[in-house]
Amino acid sequence: MIVGTGIDVVDIPRFAETLERTPGLRTRLFTQAERDLPMRSLAARFAAKEALAKALGAPVGLAWTDVTVERGEDGRPHIVMQGTVQARADELGVVHVHVSLSHDAGIASAVVIAES
């Protein structure tokens, strides 16, 4: 059963400017494994984290670095949760999360579906 859905869109150039303008933001938003990815990939991962938060009801207190968006052996993205995010998913009975990422024409987007 679907517990929640989320979608987010990120303007890649604007996101890049924000990361450049705000020292430390990259560290607060992304795990070590994500930080050195190309900007379009960072923007898509940020969109996925936002979309996941929406799918989980956007509660206060979720830590951005408690979510990692990884690329599977098959090339498809998947979400790894821990800490505050995993606790919220457990609270809602989420056992599987689907994620789709895209980036084109200066826009990155993500859709997340959380299932019980």
pLDDT of residue 83: 97
pLDDT of residue 60: 86
pLDDT of residue 23: 81
pLDDT of residue 45: 98
Nearest to 31 by CA among 41, 18, 20: 41
Q: Total domain count for the chain?
A: 1
The region that residue 44 occupies, defined by phi over 0 for left and psi between -120 and 50 for alpha, beta otherwise, is alpha
Q: Specify the CATH number for the domain of residue 90.
A: 3.90.470.20
pLDDT of residue 59: 83
Q: What percent of the chain has pLDDT over 90?
A: 96
Task: Tell me the C-alpha distance between 3 and 24, whole Å.
Answer: 33
pLDDT of residue 82: 97
36-72 confidence digits (pLDDT tens)? 999 999 999 999 999 999 999 988 889 999 999 999 9
74-112 confidence digits (pLDDT tens)? 999 999 999 999 999 999 999 999 999 999 999 999 999
The answer to whether 65 and 41 have CB atoms below 8 angstroms apart is no
50 annotated as belonging to a binding site for a ligand: yes
Residues in the chain: 116
66 annotated as belonging to a binding site for a ligand: no
Kindly state the average pLDDT of the residues 25-35: 95
Nearest to 97 by CA among 58, 74, 69: 69
Task: Tell me the C-alpha distance between 94 and 57, whole Å.
Answer: 12
**Where in the sequence is the domain holding 52, given as residue range(s)?**
2-115
The answer to whether 99 and 48 have CB atoms below 8 angstroms apart is yes
